[in-house]
Structure 1
Amino acid sequence: MSLSFAPGEIVATLGVNGAGKTTLLGCLAGMLGWDRGEVRLGGEKLDRNRLDHRQRMMFLPGEGFHFGGADTIRNAAIFSELWRGIEAAPPIDMEEWLERLGLLEVAFSSVDTLSRGQRYKAVLLALHCADPEIWLIDEPFAAGMDARGMEAFRLLVRAAAARGRCIIYTTQFPELAARFADRIVVVGSGGIRLDEPTSEADPEELIRKLGNELGIHGAHQ
């Protein structure tokens, strides 16, 4: 496969189970090696051993991850310090987004004690505080978030794209991808089955097309 991604772009990557969606994100992040080929950052070959390369992106797995024992705010601060430096101010208003994510009441609670959906929202907050150039997010819409968290996720991602960040996320839901992406990539059979923008597509027709690619008959909103 051959793919390129641009700053400010929101890309939804779809595929059936085992198609290689998560593997693709892992390779882009430098967390997985590859048998052949290469990944480039702005024309420079990705070196998995270079910290400055790894800091330009962040991979968020479907189950999320956090620093054990840290509360919600401290966890976000640690990610910000590791990716952007100890003096860097968060790119978002922490109190506002704690409220939007429904985390204000657990801001000083250990992330270990939160529910699955709350933990994922806490890690999303940390990702936004880290604010790397490239965001690689695995299955955000299947992570147990409530409707409030999912809407906050969309708003945060759009704000990040407006700052020039590139967001690539995976999903198995055509209806979500068709309505929340600038571009859709479908992987399968060891390659790219579809790669097209959403700007000029009719959402319903695109959903049916994606359903056909994924073997989902009668895909709808």
Structure 2
Amino acid sequence: MHIELNDLSKRFGRTTALDHVDLNVPPSSIIAVLGENGAGKSTLLSLLGGVLAPDQGLIRYDGQTFSREKLELRKRLLFTPDVPFMFMDRSIAANIATFASLYDARVEEHDAELTHMLEETSIAALLDRSAGSLSRGQLWKAFMACVTVVRPELWLVDEPFASGMDVIGMGVFRRLARKLADTGGTLIYTTQMVDLAAEFSDHVCVLRQGHVVLWETSTRVREMIASAPEGQENVLRGLR
């Protein structure tokens, strides 16, 4: 999926969360969106996922203008807030089946991979438990099973590295994200951790007060970090 943002703006009352943002996101890539608190990171993801509507500008997916009403486009993407949405009164197994149905996916096509993930994350023993009974870290692990079945072309994730998952869960997340990108999908995630973004991404986008102040490859961002003691701060400020 080719993603284009043209003159994108969003305001909340007198506060401008995003201000005339232009981006051209290549397909088959992992994009880290960096920024301080209030930079506009979560707003950007909410606009891309159709949770919010822009006040100005356009989002295009493969040349098609995106809006909440275009269900066929929305079925190609999956938006995950900081706490994943699941049907809390249903079992994990029922949630996996429900997500498969909503996205017209076939669970059996991913049976081997799904079984391996469920066992690796220790969720296999909890399949009959309701999603609402899980800890935050367990909820995230269960949600990744849904992602494995859905295989979105665009996965939007808000602060995955603050998800409460353990080391095993985070390892599974990284491999799932990388496989998604390697097979033609795109992951866009937010974080405040500069070194992590530089290490786990193909491109880094830095937002500051609603503006894009930096768009670079992760290789270039690592060079910026290493070039000066204040390298990480320079990245957040967009200082090359």
TM-score by length of 1: 0.89
Shift of 1:4: 1.6
2:50 corresponds to which of 27, 30, 37:
30
1:6-155 equivalence runs, <5 A: 6-85=26-105, 89-90=109-110, 93-155=113-175
- Provide the aligned C-alpha RMSD in A: 2.1
2:226 corresponds to which of 193, 205, 211:
205
Aligned residues: 215
In structure 2, the gaps of 5 or more residues are 1-20
Q: Is the 8 A contact 2:221 2:235 kept in 1?
A: no
What secondary structure does 1:16 align onto? Answer: coil
CA distance in 2, matches of 1:152, 1:66: 19
Shift of 1:87: 7.5
1:165 corresponds to which of 185, 197, 214:
185
CA spacing shift, 1:45–1:173, aligned 2, 3 Å: same
What secondary structure does 1:66 align onto? Answer: coil
CA spacing shift, 1:208–1:60, aligned 2, 3 Å: farther
What secondary structure does 1:40 align onto? Answer: strand
CA distance in 1, matches of 2:162, 2:114: 24
What secondary structure does 1:3 align onto? Answer: strand
1:193 match: 213
Higher-strand-fraction structure = 2
1:214 match: 236
Q: Is the 8 A contact 1:81 1:130 kept in 2?
A: no
CA distance in 2, matches of 1:131, 1:36: 30
What secondary structure does 1:37 align onto? Answer: strand
Q: Is the 8 A contact 1:102 1:148 kept in 2?
A: no
CA spacing shift, 1:18–1:121, aligned 2, 3 Å: same
Residue range with higher mean Cα deviation, 104-113 or 8-17: 104-113
Q: Is the 8 A contact 1:117 1:146 kept in 2?
A: yes
TM-score by length of 2: 0.82
1:184 match: 204
